[in-house]
Amino acid sequence: MKLTILFGGASYEHEISIVSAITVMDKLSSFDITLVFCDQDHQFYKVDTKEMKAKSFSSGAHKKMPLLHVIKGGFELRKTFSKELFNAPVLNLIHGGDGEDGTIASILDFYNIAYIGPRKEASVFSFDKGYTKWLADSLHVKSLEYEIVCQGEKPSIALPIIIKPARLGSSIGVSIVKEASELEYALDLAFEFDERVVVEPFVAGVKEYNLAGCNLDGKIKYSIVEEPEKQDFLDFDKKYRDFSRSSKANEAQLDAFMVEKLQEAFSKIYNGLFEGALIRCDFFVIENEVYLNEINPIPGSMAHYLFEDFDALIQNLLKNLPTQKRAQVNYQYIHSINQAKGK
């Protein structure tokens, strides 16, 4: 089976995307893979498998790789006397901006290129943590109390709180504020990355569970539930290493009832919005109630470590991509008006 892995992007998570792509490529051994790198200037390059290491990009060596152009149906490589089209379906592995904000989804849809990844509507709701709250509220999925704070405003939620830029992933710009003296710096830091920040109460020692899945043949295929390593929160550096993990995760010790509750919340979020994507939802459990923490519509290394047979899962997902319904234009109104005018 053919697959294009698209990675990089003009994003704060650019480097994480490179690491993710290297890891995922290794996990899809049955596939015939084309590697496409998007640099921060939005140029696309075709990467040879043997050059697929972080240094190829950090050193700028990629600038000598063959340029690609997005055209109808795929990525085109233009040679002096010929052209080659790489038209395999795309696995969108651009984390953060470009990849998770709906931009790449729109471009792939516009040029009629099939892809695994969130569609633009799903991207808008998951990329902005404020909109994720609206989504959860509207679907009656619980999430923590929150406040959206703009520059110059102060949060009113009692300390301790957690402060997050509305639109960044991988814990960039996130702080826990336990003392009033830490507030100003934490807000300044978050406002470096976004003009709106989301403030929530910080619940120390809260139980966290991650669950991934995707819709296959009208039914969600769930991963095992993972209880992530316990710490206040993962900072960028730890997450960076986390994105390159290759071993399987340990399954959380949960009774069937709680697993079902997590799956139920996941399906409310997923159905009708995330089709075509393999997502990971991160939940809190407080007094046996499930709270949505965040949606990762392109999870680090595609959360491969949560699935028994990741390669088969991706094969199956490729057969289950949503089809676009495109309007047919027949000019009946212009024709009828011209007729009425005698033209």
Q: Of 230 and 326, which CB lies nearer to a second copy in the complex structure?
A: 326
Question: Is the preceding peptide bond at 160 cis, omega within 30 degrees of 0?
Answer: yes
25 binds a second copy (CB under 8 A): no
Among 1, 77, 107, 206, binds a second copy (CB under 8 A): 107
328 binds a second copy (CB under 8 A): yes
14 binds a second copy (CB under 8 A): yes
191: CB partners within 8 A, 6+ apart? 151, 165, 197
54 binds a second copy (CB under 8 A): yes
Per CB under 8 A, which region of 78-86, 93-101, 225-233, 311-319 contacts a second copy? Answer: 93-101
Q: Of 44 and 310, which CB lies nearer to a second copy in the complex structure?
A: 44
Integer Cα distance of 91 and 302 in angstroms: 10
106 binds a second copy (CB under 8 A): yes
Among 48, 63, 67, 72, binds a second copy (CB under 8 A): 72
Q: Which of 205, 247, 202 is nearest to 226 (CA)?
A: 247
Closest contact distance (angstroms) between CB of 265 and a second copy is: 18
Q: Of 244 and 315, which CB lies nearer to a second copy in the complex structure?
A: 244
Question: Contacts with a second copy: how many residues (CB under 8 A)?
Answer: 55
Closest contact distance (angstroms) between CB of 204 and a second copy is: 28
Q: Given phi > 0 = left and psi -120 to 50 = alpha, else beta, which region is 305? A: alpha
DSSP string of 233-272, one letter each residue: ---HHHHHHHHT--SPPPBP---HHHHHHHHHHHHHHHTT
97 binds a second copy (CB under 8 A): yes
30 binds a second copy (CB under 8 A): no
User: Residue 55: enclosing H or E segment and its boundaries?
Assistant: helix 54-58
246 binds a second copy (CB under 8 A): no
Please report, as a single letter, which amino acid is at residue 95: H
Q: Of 84 and 182, which CB lies nearer to a second copy in the complex structure?
A: 84
Residues paired with 176 in a beta bridge: 162
Integer Cα distance of 87 and 334 in angstroms: 36
Q: Which of residues 265-324 bind a second copy (CB under 8 A)?
A: 272
User: Residue 70: enclosing H or E segment and its boundaries?
Assistant: strand 67-71
Q: Which of 326, 338, 331, 327 is nearest to 112 (CA)?
A: 326
Residue ranges that bind a second copy, judged by CB under 8 A = 10-12, 14-15, 18, 39-42, 54-55, 57-58, 72, 96-98, 101-103, 105-107, 109-112, 120-121, 124-125, 128, 131, 134-135, 137-138, 150, 196, 236-237, 240, 272, 326-329, 331, 333-335, 337-338, 343
